[in-house]
Amino acid sequence: MKTLQNKVAIITGASSGIGRATAKLFAQEGAKVVITARRQKELDELLEEINESGGEARALAGDITIEAFAAKLVEFTLNAFGRLDICFNNAGALGHLGPTPDLTLDDWQHTLNTNLTSAFLCSKYQLPAIIESAGSIIFTSSFVGHSVGMPQMAAYAASKAGIIGLTKALAVEYGSMNVRVNALLPGGTETPMSREFANTPETVAFVKNLHALKRMALPTEIAKSALYLASDASCFTTGSAMLVDGGVSICKT
């Protein structure tokens, strides 16, 4: 039997990177998946890949920073598959990078809305269905703002640290209902978003060297850790800030 057989999962930020890899892996492991992102074309391509490989998926494009869409996403999932067991709230953005005095209030709010407020809105509407299924909610946070400080990333760090606080609060609030809530903290990963930061050979080499493993992760490697948190293998894991960071948090060489 496949790891996620008969489970239904929502994956946000599924059009590329970690979200895309996770959607494909969850489907391979038997889950029916609902994928969402803002880009319809990329969602359609992923949907075709999953369905052609024997998986079962639905796609709904939209902006999860909009409360009405966060509610619609859950309604769409329940109408399509009748239940909801797993939510991988992965969508996010680096936002404005630069000296903090140059960060405008609009820049700050945009990054927090994209990374943190969207996580709140998604979980707000997912929780009733997740409580019913005694399921698992997973957020994508970061080592940035948790175990490592990075210059010129104030809004990103604050938003990702906020996700960890949200994770812990929800884990305690709903643990007695057999709901598990965890945050996944990837290290540097080879995604379109990471290339916004590491955009020269020199920067890529610098980022790789920050990690004990001296390389960046592939999206599929992070997806495997999301699978662990989604599956019964992690049945006694909740409220965790789970580092999957290639040792960046402990590396001093």
CATH number at residue 50: 3.40.50.720
In a domain, 252, yes or no: no
The verdict on residue 3 lying in a domain is no
Mean pLDDT, the chain, whole residue set: 95
Residue 235 lies in a domain: yes
What percent of the chain shows pLDDT beyond 90?
Answer: 88
pLDDT value of position 123? 98
Q: Which of 188, 127, 207, 117 is nearest to 155 (CA)?
A: 117
- Specify the pLDDT at position 242: 97
Is pLDDT at 191 greater than 90 in this prediction? no
Is there a domain that residue 173 lies in?
yes
Q: Hey, which residues are catalytic here?
A: 156
The whole domain housing 196 covers 8-244
Are 91 and 114 contacting, i.e. CB atoms less than 8 angstroms apart?
Answer: yes
Please give the structure tokens belonging to residue 209: 């060297």
Read off the pLDDT of each residue in 172-189 and give the average, rounded to a whole number: 97
| 65, 108 contact by CB (below 8 A) | no
What are the Cα distances from residue 194, in Å, to 67, 188, 191, 219? 27, 7, 5, 11
Where is pLDDT greater, at 5 or 149?
5
On whether residue 225 sits in a domain, the answer given is: yes
Flag whether pLDDT at 203 surpasses 90: no
Give the pLDDT confidence of 168-177 residue by residue, as tens digits. Answer: 999 999 999 9
The pLDDT of residue 201 is: 83
pLDDT of residue 195: 72
- Indicate the number of domains in the chain: 1
Query: Over 80: is that where the pLDDT of 193 sits?
Result: no
Give residue-wise pLDDT tens across range 24-54.
Answer: 999 999 999 999 999 999 999 999 999 999 9
pLDDT of res. 200:
83
> Residue 114 domain-assigned?
yes
Global pTM reads 0.95
Average pLDDT of the residues in 190-196: 76
Q: What is the mean pLDDT of residues 191-208?
A: 79
- Mean pLDDT of the region 138-142: 97
Flag whether pLDDT at 199 surpasses 80.
no
Among candidates 58, 62, 79, which has minimal Cα distance to 10? 58
What's the per-residue H, E or C state across the chain? CCCCCCCEEEEECCCCHHHHHHHHHHHHCCCEEEEECCCHHHHHHHHHHHHHCCCEEEECCCCCCCHHHHHHHHHHHHHHHCCCCEEEECCCCCCCCCCHHHCCHHHHHHHHHHHHHHHHHHHHHHHHHHHHHCCEEEEECCCECCCECCCCCHHHHHHHHHHHHHHHHHHHHHHHHCCEEEEEEECCECCHHHHHHCCCHHHHHHHHHHCCCCCCECHHHHHHHHHHHHCHHHCCCCCCEEEECCCCCCCCC
- Average pLDDT (58-79) is 98
Residue 203 belongs to a domain:
yes
The answer to the question of residue 63 being in a domain is yes
What average pLDDT does range 98-119 have in this prediction?
97
Residue % of the chain over a pLDDT of 70? 98
Asked if the model's pLDDT at residue 238 lies above 80, the reply is yes
